[in-house]
Amino acid sequence: MKEFWRKKRMNPENKRILAIDIEESTPSWRHLLIKAKLIYYFFQRHLFNLWLKVRLWDEMPPELRKLWFLNREGGMFREKTYRMCDRRHALKGSSILVPGAGFGHCIFQLAAFRPRKITAFDVYEYSKEWDFVAQTCKDRFGVEVVFEKGGFETVESEGRFDWIISDAVLEHIKDMDGFLKSSNRHLKDDGWFYASFGPIWYGPGGDHVDWGGEMTRWDHLICEQRLYEERFEKKGLGAAAGTLEGDFLFHGRLFSYLRAEEYFEKFKEAGFFMDLGIAKVNWFARRILKNDPDLSKKLDERNVPKFDRFINGFLVWMRKSK
Query: Does 105 help bind ligand SAM (rule: CB under 6 A)?
Result: yes
Between CA 311 and CA 52 the distance in angstroms is: 12
Nearer to ligand SAM, 105 or 320 (CB): 105
Residue span 141-160 as binding mask against ligand SAM, x where in contact by CB under 6 A, dash where not? ----------x---------
Query: Does 99 help bind ligand SAM (rule: CB under 6 A)?
Result: yes
Residues 16-75 that bind ligand SAM (CB under 6 A): none
State residue 91 phi and psi, 5-degree precision. -80, -30
Cα 26 off chain centre by: 22
Nearer to ligand SAM, 186 or 286 (CB): 186
Between CA 93 and CA 112 the distance in angstroms is: 11
Please name the residues in contact with 230: beta carbons below 8 A apart, sequence gap of 6 or more: none
Between CA 207 and CA 250 the distance in angstroms is: 6
Piece in contact with ligand SAM (CB under 6 A), picked from 26-34, 43-51, 54-62, 167-175: 167-175
Query: Does 169 help bind ligand SAM (rule: CB under 6 A)?
Result: yes
Piece in contact with ligand SAM (CB under 6 A), picked from 68-76, 119-127, 263-271, 300-308: 119-127
Query: Does 122 help bind ligand SAM (rule: CB under 6 A)?
Result: yes
Between CA 151 and CA 100 the distance in angstroms is: 8
Residues 241-280 that bind ligand SAM (CB under 6 A): none
Query: Does 106 help bind ligand SAM (rule: CB under 6 A)?
Result: yes
Query: Does 173 help bind ligand SAM (rule: CB under 6 A)?
Result: yes
Cα 36 off chain centre by: 24
Three-state DSSP state, 281? strand
Asked if 295 contacts 179 with a C-beta cutoff of 8 angstroms, the reply is no
Q: Which residues of this protein are in contact with ligand SAM, per CB under 6 A?
A: 99-102, 105-106, 121-124, 151, 167-169, 172-173, 179
